[in-house]
Amino acid sequence: MRVTVANHPLVTDRLTRMRARETDRAGFRRCLTELSGFLVYEATRDHASTPIDIDTPMGPSVGAHITDLPILVPVMRAGLGMLSAALDLLPEARTGFVGMKRDEQTLLPHAYVNTVPDQLDGRDVFVLDPMLATGGSAIQTCTTLRQSSAGRITLVCVLAAPEGVEALRESETADLLVTGAIDERLNDAGFILPGLGDAGDRQFGLN
C-alpha cells in the first residue's frame, strides 16, 4: 500500500482550524469540505485520462478527460461530510454508502448499512472517511469492496494514526492511502492524538 501525505500549506491551514476546540460545527463542516477537495485532488493525480480533440476560440487543440471514474464510498456517518467535495470534482461518479459504527468497548466496527453493488467488476473505488484510527472500519469497508471485486481501492482521510496505517497496510485491502496528516498515536480509547475529536460529533452534534 502506498501512503501519500498531502503536505501543503492549504491542507495544514484547514486541518489546523478543524483541530481547534473553538471551531463551531459550521466552521468544521466548511473546512472539512474544502480539505476533502484538496485530498480528492491528490487522490486523482495518477488516475487514467483519455485525450480528446477540442476547438478553442483560437483554434484546435488536444485536451483530456478522466475516464473510468472511481465509485465514491463515504463511510457513514462522518464520511458524508467529504462527499459533496468529491462530487464537485467528479460530478458523474457513482456513489455507494457504507455505514459503520464502532463499539466503544471493543473498538471493533460493525456495518449497519451497505448499498455498494455485490459486483463491481474491477471498478476503482475512493473510500471517504475522515479518520483512520485503529483501522477497523476502513479494513472492514475495504474487505467488503474486495469481496465485490473492486479494482484499485484508495482510502481518502483527513487524519491517520500510525497504528491505523500499519493495520491497513498489513490487511492488504487498500492500494493507496491519501491523508492530510499522520498524527502521533492512539489513546487508550482508540482516539487519535492530538487529533480533532470525533469527526461525526463535530459535524452533526449528536452521538
Higher pLDDT among residues 205 and 33, named by residue: 33
Query: What is the overall mean pLDDT for the chain?
Result: 93
| pLDDT digit string, tens, across residues 98-127 | 987 766 666 677 778 889 888 999 999 999
Alpha helices per DSSP H over 95-181: 136-147, 162-171
Q: Is 143 part of a structural domain of the chain?
A: yes
Q: Quick count: other Cβ atoms within 10 Å of Cβ 123?
A: 18
* CB within 8 Å of 64: residues ≥ 6 apart: 49, 50, 51, 52
Q: CA gyration radius for the chain? A: 17
pLDDT in the model for residue 118: 87
Q: Is 12 part of a structural domain of the chain?
A: yes
Q: Is 56 part of a structural domain of the chain?
A: no
Q: Is 117 part of a structural domain of the chain?
A: yes
Total number of domains constituting the chain: 1
What does the CA dihedral 143, 87, 164, 76 come to, rounded to 10 degrees?
-70
pLDDT in the model for residue 107: 60
Q: Which three cell numbers stand for residue 175?
A: 492500494
pLDDT in the model for residue 189: 87
Cβ pair 180, 6 in contact under 8 A: yes
- Provide the 3-class DSSP secondary structure of residue 75: strand
Q: Is 60 part of a structural domain of the chain?
A: no
Section 184-188 average pLDDT: 95
Q: Is 57 part of a structural domain of the chain?
A: no
Q: Is 55 part of a structural domain of the chain?
A: no
Question: Does the structure show a pLDDT above 80 at 160?
Answer: yes
Show the domain range for 105.
2-48+65-204
Relative to beta strand 125-128, strand 71-76 is parallel
Section 39-53 average pLDDT: 94
3-state helix, strand, coil in the chain (%, to 5): 35, 30, 35
CATH number reported for the structural domain that contains residue 107 in this entry:
3.40.50.2020
Q: Is 24 part of a structural domain of the chain?
A: yes
